[in-house]
Amino acid sequence: GEKLATLTSIASGMKMAASSARLSPSVCSVLLFIANISEATEWRVVWEDEFEGSVGAAPNAEWWTVRNNMTHGPLEQQLYTADAVALDGVGHLVLTTARREVRGPGREYNFTSGWVDTQGKVNATFGRWEVRAKLPDPHAIGIWPAHWLMPEPSPWNCWPVGGEIDIMESNGGIFNNTVLGTYHWGANCTASSAQPSRNATDPPNNCTCGCGCDLHHLVPNPPGNGQFECVHPHGDPWRCTTAHDFSLDFHVFAVEWNATSIRWFVDGAEYWQRVLGVDHVSYIPIEPFYVILNTAIQPPAYNPGAGTGDQYPVHHVVDYVRILAPA
């Protein structure tokens, strides 16, 4: 009904045909190990999903789990529901964030939104990970789309031990519509990178036993020419002076990860990297990681005004997800 019509409307003018979501014939398992790489210049796809399917259908259940009646942290304003996740019928996955009063675990929520992940189904060690997506309207203050990687199977039982690689996250309002490349790590279960210092890195003496949290901003420079640079001014990395609306068109967000470094890209332009042993980086993950796609709404304590405004519903539209290995 109304939801299917909305999805069809979102898709209007977008990609009308693509190959089916698939594994490369050379891959015999969705548990992938990609040999350690330095800085490959040519890549081959070893797994991808281009989200082919009928309007309103769920993504391929062999690869994705759609989370339902799930929360993520006590302060976020959304409840993740299965009906917020659907294919649009023309090769996209759509995560819809809507103003809606629902009862979730332990309390009431004012919004519903979408979360999908490949935990237990698709994971890989190292390689290039790409997500081509159009982000939600950044005028919805506090909207928080993310594409991120978590370890699995994890030999650790707490975060941030084992690492978290955020391919992309964006915050409506607070960061002037920029996107961020983020890496979290910790030495033990008491290390916390949830409260980063206002510097490029967190020295070990700023947290328990060593931890890190990078918040590096990507903005166009100059605006409109398609070129990007990292803007992370000393003294106040939370603010950037140039904005780019990543909801206007699709962009390819990517990381290249090996045993000694992680590098972040948008549309092929590298804008940040973390290297083992440099700037207090004491750990680069070497375990298999899986991918999460979601849209949250920040709590007002993090982003004043979050959840206000009349932009809702907003849509996080994903064209494809790919894992690549050196050619």
pLDDT tens per residue, range 203-217? 333 333 233 444 444
Average pLDDT over residues 154-171: 79
Residue 58 pLDDT class (50, 70, 90 cuts) = very high
| 224 Ramachandran zone, left/alpha/beta (phi>0; psi -120 to 50) | left
Given a cut of 70, is residue 202 above it in pLDDT?
no
Contact call for residues 34 and 126 (beta carbons, < 8 A): yes
- pLDDT tens, residue by residue, 64-85: 999 999 998 878 899 999 999 9
Given a cut of 80, is residue 13 above it in pLDDT?
no
Given a cut of 90, is residue 56 above it in pLDDT?
yes
Given a cut of 80, is residue 196 above it in pLDDT?
no
Average pLDDT over residues 150-168: 79
For residue 40, the model assigns a pLDDT of 63
For residue 269, the model assigns a pLDDT of 80
List C-alpha distances in Å: 203 to 14, 186, 199, 261, 278. Answer: 45, 12, 9, 18, 11
Given a cut of 60, is residue 220 above it in pLDDT?
no
Whole-structure pTM value: 0.81
CB atoms within 10 A of CB 250: 17
Given a cut of 60, is residue 95 above it in pLDDT?
yes
Q: Where is pLDDT greater, at 292 or 23?
A: 292
For residue 188, the model assigns a pLDDT of 59
- pLDDT tens, residue by residue, 225-248: 444 444 443 333 434 434 578 899
Residue 37 pLDDT class (50, 70, 90 cuts) = low
Given a cut of 70, is residue 166 above it in pLDDT?
yes
Query: Where does residue 317 rank: exposed (0-12), middle (13-18), buried (19+ CB within 10 A)?
Result: buried
Q: For 314, phi and psi rounded to 5 degrees?
A: -120, 160
- Residue 264: how many CA atoms within 13 Å on its side-chain side? 24
Given a cut of 90, is residue 62 above it in pLDDT?
yes
Q: Where is pLDDT greater, at 218 or 306?
A: 306
- What does the alpha-carbon distance between residue 137 and residue 119 come to, in Å, rounded to a whole number? 28
The alpha carbon of 292 is separated from its chain's Cα centroid by a whole number of angstroms, namely: 7
- pLDDT tens, residue by residue, 238-292: 344 345 788 999 999 999 999 999 998 888 888 788 888 887 777 888 889 999 9
What number of residues does the chain have? 327
Show Cβ contacts of residue 9 under 8 Å, excluding neighbours closer than 6 positions: none
Strand partners, 103: 108
The alpha carbon of 221 is separated from its chain's Cα centroid by a whole number of angstroms, namely: 23
Given a cut of 50, is residue 224 above it in pLDDT?
no
Given a cut of 80, is residue 38 above it in pLDDT?
no
For residue 31, the model assigns a pLDDT of 56
Contact call for residues 315 and 12 (beta carbons, < 8 A): no
Q: Is the peptide bond before 300 cis (omega within 30 degrees of 0)?
A: no
